[in-house]
Amino acid sequence: MKLIPLLLFAGCLAVSAETEEQINKRFTVQPGGKLVVDVDFGSIDISTNASSEVTVDISRKISRRNKSSEEEFLRERPVTFSQDGNTLTIQSRAKSKIGWSWRGSQRTEGKYIITVPAQFNPKLKTSGGGISVSGLTGETKADTSGGGLKFTRLHGPLDGATSGGGIRVAYCEGTLRVRTSGGGIDVSGGSGTLSGDTSGGSVTVKEFRGPIRVESTGGGITLENVAGKVEGSTSGGSISAWFSTPLSDEVKLGTSGGGVTVHLAQDSAFDLDAATSGGGVTSDLPVTVSGKIARDHLKGPVNGGGKPVVLRTSGGSIHVKKL
Residues 64-110 pLDDT 10s = 778 887 778 888 889 999 999 999 999 998 876 554 444 545 677 88
Q: Buried (b) or exposed (e) across 72-84, using 16+ Cβ within 10 A? A: ebeeebebeeeee
Give the three-state DSSP class for 52. Answer: coil
φ and ψ of 296, to 5 deg: -105, 10
pTM above 0.85, yes or no: yes
Who wins on pLDDT, 1 or 82?
A: 82
CB 109 within 8 A of CB 128: no
The partner residues of 294 in beta bridges, in order of sequence, read 297
Sign of CA dihedral 221, 126, 24, 114: negative
Q: In 3D, which of 205, 265, 215, 211 has the Cα closest to residue 235?
A: 215
Percent of the chain with pLDDT over 90: 67
Give residues with Cβ within 8 angstroms of 78, minimum separation 6. 92, 95
pLDDT beyond 90 at 248? no
What is residue 34's DSSP assignment? E
Residues 141-168 pLDDT 10s = 999 988 999 999 999 999 999 988 999 9
Give residues with Cβ within 8 angstroms of 156, minimum separation 6. 136, 137, 138, 139, 140, 173, 174
pLDDT grade for 1, boundaries at 50, 70 and 90:
very low
pLDDT grade for 17, boundaries at 50, 70 and 90:
low
